[in-house]
Amino acid sequence: EYPGYGLRAPETTTPQKCVQTATDIITAVARMYINEPLFVVGRSIGTGIAAQALIMSDAPNIEGLVLISPFSSVRELAAEKVPVLGQFLVPNHLLNTSDALSRIKASTRVTIIHGVDDTLIPFYHAQRLKAGRPSADLFSLEGGHNDLCVERLLQIVTDQTS
């Protein structure tokens, strides 16, 4: 779990600490499964963390990245949710998934999955990410942010990672 969430809730967290924790996990898992192709999966706020952690990791066996309900950047999302002030409250470098995707190796497979009825992180964030990474696979699913069909979601992830 990320620092400050779930069982680790008493900890003080920062986005940088979350990215470092994810990087450490990616590195440790990659070492344990050195001869296996691995995929990094992030959902919602975890998509920005996963993408940035993948850049920081030196694991050679990461084959792909799966982003479920991603945002293009926290700053853009904040500007949409809190017009005028949002863009000034969040630094541009903070969990910028679009920027991270542009820096991930071209050989890394990227899969984007998003609900077309998502009101928390609108579907057009996924479209922006796809536009910035044309080689990415984009799957649109019926549903919103927390009610995507689990069976369909698992089927896509299984197909894309096998």
For residue 116, the model assigns a pLDDT of: 96
Q: Write out pLDDT tens, residues 9-41.
A: 666 778 888 899 999 999 999 999 999 999 999
Model pTM above 0.85: yes
For residue 144, the model assigns a pLDDT of: 92
Any idea which of 59-63, 86-90, 98-102 has the lowest mean pLDDT?
Answer: 86-90
3-state secondary structure 50-99: HHHHHHHCCCCCEEEEEEECCCCCHHHHHHHHCCCCHHHHCCCCCCCHHH
Average pLDDT of the chain is 88
Tell me the pLDDT band of 148, cut-offs 50, 70 and 90. Answer: confident
